Structure 1
Amino acid sequence: MKIKFKNSNHLDDDTLWSNVKMGDEKAFSHLFEKHYAHLIRYGNSLSPLKDKVQDCVQEVFTDIWIYRESISESIVVKAYLLSSVRKRIARHQERDRFFGKTTSIDTIEFLLDFSIEHDLIADETTANKVFNLNKLLNELPSRQKEALYLRYHQGLSVDEIASTLDVNYQSANNLLYRAVLNLRKDWKDIILLFLAVTTSLL
């Protein structure tokens, strides 16, 4: 599926979703183009098998088109897509003998390493802080890393993170709180640096 619509990022998700539900193929193509890249990146953070990730993302969009009339209109599109990809990868892992011990979506390990780019570094002191920030972020437990990624790289709310991870609001909030607490425990200044850098990436 090769789609090359330009300027699809400025289109409103709610409008696209509403039009998709009415059978608008062009809106569906725009939705695919707008979200495909970050869904692939998120999928690759959950599975090392890139071909399977691409299959999962395309299957999610295929199901959206096939079942568009029965899917609720009142959803947060980005959170719905991220959650659907996560669940699809979990189902593939359950069926694949290579992931023989994987029996639940809760067992998916978040594989992405945080890496703040060097072009954001203004001086040597900041460079050292960023190095330590990356190190501490990547030492966090998998679920805490994933919650931070969804919050600060995907821009999801706590409610949307809960939906994506298939947990309740309090559990999602606890994951974020414990992650920040773990960072604060190791380095007081790291929270402000993390928030400043990740906000610039949104």
Structure 2
Amino acid sequence: MMEQNCDANINLSNTCLDPEAQLLADFQAGDMRAFSRLYDSHIHILFNYGCKLTTDRELLRDCIHDVFVKMHSRRDCITDINNIRSYLFISLKNKLCDEMRKRIYMSDTPVEEYSSISGEEDVEEDYISSEGMKNDKSMVKRLLSQLSPRQREALTLYYIEERKYEDICEIMNMNYQSVRNLMHRGLLKLRTLAG
């Protein structure tokens, strides 16, 4: 009897939800197709975000997988999620931090950078192009490395992931004005360094 009332409440409350909230509600109600759609709609965004936090693609893939496995196994416990995307960003960030801590304390394995091998055609052009990209990436990495980790994260979320300030506040667990100040100081520092 209690389960029927709970299901009825879920169905009534979900009629005016946004699509992501509706998918989450459907998943929590046991719809595995909704879980698949949540996964498909967020996997690339999470991967892009994670690439800003680590260059180890295998670790990143494993962490994303673990986030979704945990979400699946705890679907009954995650009832207070207001924004599924922010929840996933925070979960991924926490999982990556945990894994990095494990690596630091338990292993000497460095995080390896992914590199692609070009074909034999136009080797010279590919080499010149890749060198130019390496130089650009090197300069960006050098500039970003001079920011604090929090400034780097805030700028990445805002400019790369195109997150709103409210989402950044939630992800970084900071108030609105602190995030604005952090980003302002980061941009000023970047302009000074690049200038």
The verdict on a shared fold, with TM-score over 0.5 as the criterion, is yes
Whole-angstrom distance in 2 between the partners of 1:186 and 1:89: 29
Give a deviation string over 1:39-70, Cα, whole Å, max 9, x none. Answer: 11222222232211111101111111111121
Residue ranges of structure 2 left out of the alignment (5+ in a row)? 1-17, 107-112, 114-134
Counterpart of 2:7? Answer: none
Give a deviation string over 1:7-37, Cα, whole Å, max 9, x none. Answer: xxxx921111111111110010011111101
Closer, same or farther: CA 37–168 of 1 in aligned 2, 3 Å: same
Comparing 177-186 with 77-86, greater Cα deviation is found at 177-186
Residue from 25, 47, 70 that aligns with 2:54: 47
Q: Say whether 1:95 aligns with 2:99.
A: no
The 5-angstrom pairing of residues 6-85 of structure 1 reads: 12-85=19-92
Percent identity of paired positions between Structure 1 and Structure 2: 27
Task: Identify the structure with the greater helix proportion.
Answer: 2
Q: Say whether 1:152 aligns with 2:174.
A: no
Task: Give the RMSD, CA atoms, in angstroms.
Answer: 2.9
Q: CA deviation at 1:145?
A: 2.7
TM-score (norm 1): 0.62
Residue from 86, 90, 96 that aligns with 2:93: 86
Closer, same or farther: CA 90–183 of 1 in aligned 2, 3 Å: closer
TM-score (norm 2): 0.64
Check whether the contact 1:138–1:145 (CA below 8 A) recurs between aligned residues.
no
Whole-angstrom distance in 1 between the partners of 2:78 and 2:61: 22
Closer, same or farther: CA 63–158 of 1 in aligned 2, 3 Å: same
Residue ranges of structure 1 left out of the alignment (5+ in a row)? 1-10, 102-110, 112-130, 189-202
Counterpart of 1:139? Answer: 143
SS in 2 for 1:45: helix
Closer, same or farther: CA 100–13 of 1 in aligned 2, 3 Å: same
Counterpart of 1:164? Answer: 171
